Amino acid sequence: MVKQGDRVKADTVIAQTELPGKVHSVNVANLLGIAPDEVRDYLIRKEGEPVQKDAVIAENTPFIKFLKTEVRSPIHGTIDTISTVTGQVLLREPPRRLELLAYIDGAVADMLPQQGVTIETSCSLVQGIFGVGGETWGELQMGVASPEEALTPDKLTSGMKGKIVVGGSFLSSDTLAGAREIGVAALIVGGIHDKDLRALLGYDLGVAITGTEKIGITVILTEGFGSIPMAAKTFALLSKHQGQKASVSGATQIRAGVIRPEIIIPADGTVTQSRAAAERGGIQVGDHVRIIRDPLFGRIGQVSALPPDLRQIETESHVRVLEVGFPDKTRAIIPRANVEILEG
Amino acid sequence: MSAGAQTPHKKAADLPLSVIIATDCGSTTTKAILIEKQGDTFRQTFRGEAPTTVEAPFEDVTRGVLNAIAEVEELSGRKILDGEKIVTPAGAGGNSKAGVDIYVSTSSAGGGLQMMVAGAVQSMTGESAQRCALGAGAIVMDVLAVNDGRLPHEKIERIRSLRPDMILLSGGTDGGTVTHVVEMAEYISAAKPRPRLGMTYSLPLIYAGNTQARDRVTEILGKKTALVVTDNIRPTLERENLAPARNKIHDLFLEHVMAQAPGYKKLISWAGAPIVPTPAAVGFIMEALAKRDKINLIGVDIGGATTDVFSVYGGVFNRTVSANLGMSYSVSNVLAEAGLANIMRWVPFDLDEQTLRNRIKNKMIRPTTIPQTLDELQIEQAIAREALRLALIHHKSLATGLKGVQQERTISDIFEQKASGGSLIDMLKLDLIVGSGGILSHAPRRIQSMLMMVDAYEPLGFTTLSVDSIFMMPHLGVLSTVNEKAATDVFVHDCLVYLGTCIAPIGQGRDGEKCAEYQIVFGGNREPESGTLTFGELRVMALGDNERAQVTMKPAKQVDLGEGKGVPVTREARGGAVGLMLDGRGRPLQLPADVKTRVAALSRWHQAVGLYPR
């Protein structure tokens, strides 16, 4: 539907296909009381022929008309296959059209025959840690004044309809319900309680593979579960782009081949040469890190030392650790597996 | 269910080998081990690991393999690689520190082998097909059958949406139903299934059903799939014949599935034996161990995403995989399936529900983190108990005798009629539990591994427990297909760590009441010990590795140790890293419902066996 160099908007259809229709089976042999290998003799439609819903597809011709039995099509579609072993006729619904939208504003940079296209845009990108709900887009609007502030129901307004609203540390179930009622496109917050996620989804999420939920809203967590202030850098970046259009996706897959939710804020839509991010080695002294496990979960600090030897921690495990210094001048020894480097 | 059908590619004679390099390409890590012959015995000498490189940006599994082997090279000082080639044989170019005799590998990268199976009747050929695929090392995505309760269009939708690596279609005994088998073939045909990997090749489909339906099935599916016809997995109601179909699964795994995965063609060309799915290799070694020691065993591999359970009872091998029970990626699913109360019952302190739920979800979204505090470790070990328990329940439901088999009954059976297809897993007849996976292999104290398995499995009578020291069972499983002695030597000397023996009387009683009297006769000069085990008591006695003791248990009159209520039992018990565990907590194990009493009981038991530092 598009070609290399074309400019696209988030809602531009870039590709479409027809998915084969649903298949329904009708056991004609059973319904007519005949042997399966006699089915073809009683059918009045052939394989590949179109049928309307309730149209007769097979019938018998008894001496007494009263005893006549007709088999009608349960759907509008075509006769797909006729089996003389099972006596069943498979009917197929018309194909369904599937349209693929661009999702972000940009330009078609590359064509992948039979697969898709690459769309390039100059943008700001924020990666979340977990999300639910699929791709959507809208104007960014800050719902709170600081990253420590929770997004409470009283901060929601009808003007947030169709927008991507940024909260701070926490989102309660009341706020979630209110946002869905208003028609907010997406919410971005530091954290929520697991019980509120369960209430939103209607089930307890077992494995973090998300993005296909039909919940009418996309929710992206930047930090995790619980009440956790959004990282100041993330909050500042989103604040800077208030009023701009952003594309977001809650799709998360935490398995081999990790997918994290994303917030893409196109700058002006012009195609630029892609710039490789600076290569970085392992963790280094001076790096800003977030602690991602209790007891200091959510705290942000700076690596102050990287002891090379294994250290015994409280659990008696011997692990590689690092020392983190916090803004309040306190320090803590943390397993290296329990921190993540804050990029950017 | 099959006996002795696990090593399809086994060569007639063991290959003469002295240095072996083996890898297991896991979904996140590729692990390499070096095995060298020292005198007459093979020993595992060095190991290395590197991230698996199946995914972008590398998209070539051999990069990770080379990196893992390079680490072994560095540690061992042996030259194994010449650029991107493995130097063979050992001693190449007259250098005794160069080369290996063979390279072998297993793989579960890229999600392992994912299969859909179909049969005519769910509890008969459907289950046989499921056992066949699981035994071959597959994850079974769904079992379709004529009577699976789904409408035809729902079956077709399901087949189309699954995108498996392979389909196994069975159905009907030889000379039995043709109609139902053809019906399933028609549904598969209508769904036009596509394979998970690669857009250009046909989906492999193995037909292993009624021989009389072969022509019809070929007519329906021959042009739409890469159809392979093999022997019926259920030729008669009374007999299962899983080996031919399993071998075909392994062949097609190599030819079709792995050939599509990035870099595998090169990897296959390096390997001196066919690459097998990781769980299938673990199955080989479990079966070899049971056969060698003539024992019944249960093996478990609890990973981050899945838990595999293996059993060998009376020579009959079974494997199940609980695809969503694990300690990191799937940790939240353990909570969802077990329920909060079942997890909390193992935690020796009180914790509010919201905090625990949030902590578990945070582990799910950051799966590589480790417990830093004792409380966190105790919560993880509580979750592990439930994952192990649920996976065993799942295993018991599938490791069964054949269902639908006519049984001859006599008048004496009137009061004890059992349906056909009962579980083969009898905890009283269990000799050995083998635990594997990070939470068991790397627990800070060995007693923690032992008690996790004892709590989860509730072994009855005398049961020996062990753990895999470092996860090398897959390597040894694939090695056993070319040299069984090398695999067994390493398994016994370097892989298996015996923890000891758990002695658990069956029965209930009030705390402090007599459960059983015991007398323990040790080897050497050690004085015998005797005493009374009371209900509610848990104790451990030191008995070192390779040591054995003669244990006589005289149970109270309502208590059973396998020979009947009140009947004394004398058996030899094996020691290990923990020793002898006398478990007077009663079977079935019932924990106090009241939080305060339960926390007190847990704390008492934990202290008695030195489970945690405080």
CATH 3.30.420.40 fits B18-100, yes or no: yes
Tell whether A146 and A253 lie within a shared domain.
yes
Cβ contacts from A onto B, under 8 A: 160
Query: Rounded CA gap, B585 and B503, in Å?
Result: 11
Look up the CATH number of the domain holding residue A162.
Answer: 3.50.30
Tell whether A116 and A129 lie within a shared domain.
no
Q: In the prediction, which pLDDT does A115 show?
A: 76
Tell whether A108 and A180 lie within a shared domain.
no
Look up the CATH number of the domain holding residue A60.
Answer: 2.40.50
Question: Contact A19/A100 with Cβ under 8 angstroms?
Answer: no
- Indicate yes or no: CB of B373 within 8 angstroms of CB of A315: yes
Q: What is the mean pLDDT of residues A181-210?
A: 93
Q: In the prediction, which pLDDT does B75 show?
A: 93
Listed residue (B182, B171, B186) closest to B129, CA to CA: B171
Residue A232 located in a structural domain: yes
Query: Rounded CA gap, A188 and A221, in Å?
Result: 6
Nearest residue of B to residue A131, measured between CA atoms: B365
Residue B10 — pLDDT band, cuts 50, 70, 90?
very low
- Tokens 């758990």 sit on residue: B502
Element (H, E) at B452: helix B446-457
- Segment B285-294, tens digit of pLDDT: 999 899 989 9
- Segment B112-162, tens digit of pLDDT: 788 999 999 998 999 999 999 998 888 888 999 999 999 888 898 889 888
Residue A165 located in a structural domain: yes
- Indicate yes or no: CB of B182 within 8 angstroms of CB of A86: yes
Question: Within chain B, which residue ranges are assigned CATH 3.30.420.40?
Answer: 18-100
Does the pLDDT at position B587 exceed 60?
yes
Which of A 5-34 lie inside 8 A of B, CB atoms? 20, 22-25
- A203 chain-B contacts, CB cut-off 8 A: 336
Residue A271 — pLDDT band, cuts 50, 70, 90?
very low
Cα A231 to Cα A237, B39, B572, distances in angstroms: 10, 60, 60
Q: In the prediction, which pLDDT does B5 show?
A: 37
Q: In the prediction, which pLDDT does B243 show?
A: 86
Residue A228 located in a structural domain: yes
- Segment B426-473, tens digit of pLDDT: 999 999 999 998 899 989 999 999 999 999 999 999 999 999 988 899
Tell whether A318 and A185 lie within a shared domain.
no
- Segment B553-574, tens digit of pLDDT: 999 999 999 999 999 999 999 9
* DSSP E strand boundaries for B392-513: 432-436, 461-468, 496-504
Nearest residue of B to residue A203, measured between CA atoms: B336
Tell whether A137 and A230 lie within a shared domain.
yes
* DSSP letter, residue B440: H
Compute CA B56 distance to the chain's CA centroid, rounded to the nearest angstrom: 29
- Indicate yes or no: CB of A205 within 8 angstroms of CB of B359: no
Angle at the Cα of B14 (from B12 to B18), degrees rounded to 5? Answer: 160
Radius of gyration of chain A (CA): 29
- B613 chain-A contacts, CB cut-off 8 A: 314, 316
* DSSP letter, residue B578: S
Question: Contact B439/B327 with Cβ under 8 angstroms?
Answer: yes
- B362 chain-A contacts, CB cut-off 8 A: 224-226, 292-293, 297
Four-residue CA torsion sign, A124, A130, A134, A138: negative
Query: Rounded CA gap, A305 and B468, in Å?
Result: 35
Among A29-43, B188-202, B487-501, B530-544, which is the least confidently predicted range?
Answer: B188-202
Residue A316 located in a structural domain: yes
Q: B167 is written with which tokens?
A: 């389909």
What mean pLDDT is reported for chain B? Answer: 89
Nearest residue of A to residue B157, measured between CA atoms: A22
Tell whether A65 and A141 lie within a shared domain.
no
Best mutation target, A207, A210, A317, to test chain B (most B CBs within 10 A): A207
Residue A282 located in a structural domain: no
Q: Helix or strand or coil: residue B2?
A: strand
Domain count, chain A: 4
| Better pLDDT: A253 or B581 | B581
Q: What is the mean pLDDT of residues B329-333?
A: 90
Tell whether A85 and A167 lie within a shared domain.
no
What's the length of chain B?
614
Nearest to A315 among B56, B179, B374 (CB): B374
Nearest to B333 among A36, A207, A316 (CB): A207
- Indicate yes or no: CB of A256 within 8 angstroms of CB of B54: yes
Cα B585 to Cα B78, B341, B564, distances in angstroms: 52, 20, 19
Q: In the prediction, which pLDDT does B321 show?
A: 85
| Better pLDDT: B11 or A99 | A99
Question: Within chain B, which residue ranges are assigned CATH 3.40.50.280?
Answer: 110-270
Tell whether A105 and A215 lie within a shared domain.
no
Residue B411 — pLDDT band, cuts 50, 70, 90?
low
Which of A 256-285 lie inside 8 A of B, CB atoms? 256-257
How would CATH label the architecture of B110-270? 3-Layer(aba) Sandwich (3.40)
Which of A 133-192 lie inside 8 A of B, CB atoms? none
Query: Rounded CA gap, B259 and B248, in Å?
Result: 15
Q: pTM here? A: 0.87
Does the pLDDT at position B502 exceed 90?
yes
Minimal CA separation from A296 to chain B, in Å:
10
Q: Is A64 on the interface with B (CB under 8 A)?
A: no
Q: Which domain holds residue A226?
A: 125-266
